[in-house]
Amino acid sequence: MGEPQRTFYGNQFGNTFPVFVHFRIPLWVPEVGGPIDPDNEAHDLVMSIFGGMSKGERNRIKIRVRTAMSSQAQLQGRYLGGRPPYGYRITDAGPHPNPAKAAAGQRLHKLEPDPATAPVVLRIFTIYVDGMSDEAIALRLNRDGIPCPSAHDAARNPHRTKKAWQAGAVRAILHNPRYTGHEVWNKQRKEERLLDIDDGTLGHRTTMTHNPIDEWIWSNEPAHEPLITKELFEAAQRARRQRARAYQRQERPNRRSGRRAYVLRGRVRCTLCGRKMQPTAIRDRVYYRCEYKEQEAALYPGLDHPRTINLREDIICRALDAWIARAFAPDRLTATITALSQASIAASAAQTQTPEQAQARQAIKECERRLARYQAALDSGADPAVVTQWINDAQRDREAAQKKLDALPTVTRKKEPPLTADQIREITDRLGDIAQRIQAADAEKKEPLYEALGITITYDNATRTATVRSRPSIPYRYKECPRGELTADDTAVLAQGRLHLHGLPKGPTPTS
């Protein structure tokens, strides 16, 4: 390994070197004069230092790059790459100002108006300021046969639908300040989040996050030809803020006090279009509705879809609850009780600390490991002045983590003993008919049950058939029906984790 200080980042060496040791693969490093000895604390310390140096260099490079890009955007108005906004296209802006890069053939680029789409952007801003909503603008553009952004530039948008304009696309255009002619940078940033807060060795997941508007970097002068005036852009932003405040203030008629619970929210899909059916209350009954209006017709042209499809919640839940209660039928009760007892034992053995407490305790353990390595380095003859500084830093980090842990509220739960099979059987006997208990339960109590079982429903309006599938998040579940297909009642059939409901009644006729 020629440059170990550039090979491992942070604690990567400590996470990967045990794999080399396991397979007896020597790792040669010039700085230690040969292969790394897994039992030598000094070697471990040297590689840890290299990891810290690599992390520091990475951070310095990040700062330099971001500072340079910020200056280029603000002072020079330079186009820094990326997909051009709808209404613009990329054009050549001459050779690169860096002579070496110019000699290598690199050139600058800038934005110029696209003759086919620039008038559409101006039209969107104008009619929005005149009072038209995002949805209405999308409908009008679809009606006029104007291709949506992903359809106009299909090569750069292979992952997006090209069927029609959506309100979200209109909203993104109305929020983009680059149409005023100024270059804008730093609208988004990358954030690294731990994959598992209880195990930092699993690494991070990088996500894109939008920055607040006050953190955007604007060019001091216009960098390309504007499609709209700055006054029109500001008028559109004022109109959006005013409409948002008006929406929050308005009182909706016929609104019931309290929040209605929809136990199947987000779990019912229409087989015709594949979209989620939205819950609504009609004449004191809960229905799941799939509406097929002009906007949807543009997305799914030629689809034989009724304007409104309604599915009653109570009919689905009644058969679904009976299906779930079959786990407590006499022929399955013993297997169910055994599974519940095993789950109770596993839950009792689990840690009861909060994620914040676990993170603080992990930081303390890491500091203690650092102190042990530094002490070993002293014993091996390392420079006392340097190691003393490391020890002081580790002690400060440990004290900070300990203060954080002490400041956290004590919310640890008392560990309950696991339920035995006899106790579970006694509970089921005391509850009586499980099916009736589930059906009589409040919606707020049913919702977490359906979530744990991973319930999903697809509804075919043509045959009036609902298919229920269960993918439990818990480790135990029946792999197949022990008796093949069991008739639950006249409308329900249980077969290998699926419930088919046939002959469902049609929903109410829409009033509008």
DSSP notation for 252-315: PTTPPSSPPP-TTTTTEEETTT-PBPEEEEETTEEEEEEE--HHHHHHSTT----SEEEEEHHH
| Residue 277 CB neighbours (<10 A) | 24
Same domain, yes or no, for 224 and 137? yes
**Domain region containing 25:** 4-72
Same domain, yes or no, for 135 and 230? yes
Query: Do 495 and 484 touch, CB atoms closer than 8 A?
Result: yes
β-sheet bridge partners, residue 109: 92
Q: Closest by alpha carbon to 336, among 440, 450, 424, 416?
A: 424
pLDDT of residue 299: 63
**Three-class DSSP category at 496:** coil
Same domain, yes or no, for 28 and 177? no
Q: How many residues does the chain have?
A: 512
Does the residue 260 lie in any domain? Answer: no
Same domain, yes or no, for 128 and 274? no
Same domain, yes or no, for 403 and 472? no
DSSP string, 82-97: SPPPTTEEEEEEEE-S
Q: How many helices (H) and strands (E) does the chain have?
A: 16, 17
Same domain, yes or no, for 437 and 308? yes
Same domain, yes or no, for 360 and 275? no
pLDDT of residue 442: 80
**Three-class DSSP category at 455:** strand
3-state secondary structure labels for all residues of 301-334 = CCCCCCCEEEEEHHHHHHHHHHHHHHHHCCCCHH
Q: Closest by alpha carbon to 197, among 205, 189, 188?
A: 205
Same domain, yes or no, for 373 and 497? no
Going by the DSSP 8-state scheme, the letter that residue 17 receives in this structure is H
- Number of domains present in the structure of the chain: 4
**What whole-number distance in Å separates Cα of residue 60 and Cα of residue 93?**
30
Same domain, yes or no, for 143 and 36? no
Does the residue 418 lie in any domain? Answer: no
Same domain, yes or no, for 41 and 156? no
| Residue 193 CB neighbours (<10 A) | 10
Query: Do 51 and 11 touch, CB atoms closer than 8 A?
Result: yes
Same domain, yes or no, for 274 and 235? no
Q: Closest by alpha carbon to 128, among 248, 234, 250?
A: 234
pLDDT tens-place values along the chain, 512 residues long? 777 777 777 778 888 888 888 898 998 888 888 888 888 888 888 888 888 888 888 888 889 998 999 998 899 888 888 889 999 999 988 888 888 888 888 898 899 999 999 999 999 999 999 988 898 898 889 888 899 998 888 887 777 777 788 888 999 999 999 999 999 988 888 888 887 777 776 777 888 888 888 888 989 999 999 999 999 999 999 998 888 776 665 544 444 445 567 888 888 998 888 888 999 888 788 899 988 876 666 666 667 788 888 898 988 888 888 888 888 888 888 888 888 787 777 666 554 566 677 778 888 888 888 888 777 776 666 666 667 777 888 888 888 888 888 887 765 555 567 778 888 888 888 877 777 788 788 877 888 888 888 889 999 888 888 888 887 754 433 333 333 333 333 233 333 345 666 556 665 654 43
| The pair of three-digit structure tokens given for residue 282, joined into one six-digit string | 């009609």
End-to-end Cα separation, the chain, in angstroms: 73
Same domain, yes or no, for 242 and 272? no
Q: Closest by alpha carbon to 461, among 229, 291, 236?
A: 291
Kindly tell me the sign of the dihedral angle through the C-alpha atoms of 406, 410, 413, 414. Answer: positive
Task: Identify the CATH number of the domain in which residue 243 sits.
Answer: 3.90.1750.20
